[in-house]
Amino acid sequence: MKILVTGGAGFIGSAVVRHIINNTNDTVINVDKLTYAGNLESLESVCSSDRYFFERVDICDQSEVARIFAQYQPDAVMHLAAESHVDRSIDGPAAFIETNIVGTYVLLEVARSYWKDLSESKKKSFRFHHISTDEVYGDLEGSEDLFTETTPYAPSSPYSASKASSDHLVRAWRRTYGLPTLVTNCSNNYGPFHFPEKLIPLVILNAVEEKPLPVYGKGNQIRDWLYVEDHARALYKVATEGEIGETYNIGGHNEKQNIEVVNTICRLLDELKPRASGSYKELITFVTDRPGHDLRYAIDASKIKRELGWAPQETFESGVRKTVRWYLQNLKWARRVQDGSYQRERLGKIA
> Active-site residue numbers?
134-135, 159
Positive/negative CA dihedral, 50, 54, 59, 65: negative
Task: Please list, in sequence order, all residues whose beta carbon lies within 8 angstroms of the beta carbon of residue 330, skipping any fewer than 6 positions away.
Answer: 192
Q: How many CB atoms within 10 Å of residue 160? A: 26
Closest C-alpha among 206, 225, 222, 346 to residue 275: 206
- What span, in angstroms and rounded, lies between the C-alpha atoms of 244 and 344? 41
Task: Please list, in sequence order, all residues whose beta carbon lies within 8 angstroms of the beta carbon of residue 42, skipping any fewer than 6 positions away.
Answer: 9, 11, 14, 193
Closest C-alpha among 67, 8, 68 to residue 43: 8
Contact 40, 63 (CB under 8 A): no
Positive/negative CA dihedral, 332, 335, 340, 341: negative
Task: Provide the strand spans (E) within the chain.
Answer: 2-6, 27-31, 52-55, 76-79, 127-133, 181-186, 188-190, 213-216, 222-227, 247-250, 255-257, 284-287
Sheet containing strand 188-190, strands side by side: 188-190, 222-227, 255-257
H or E segment at 46?
none
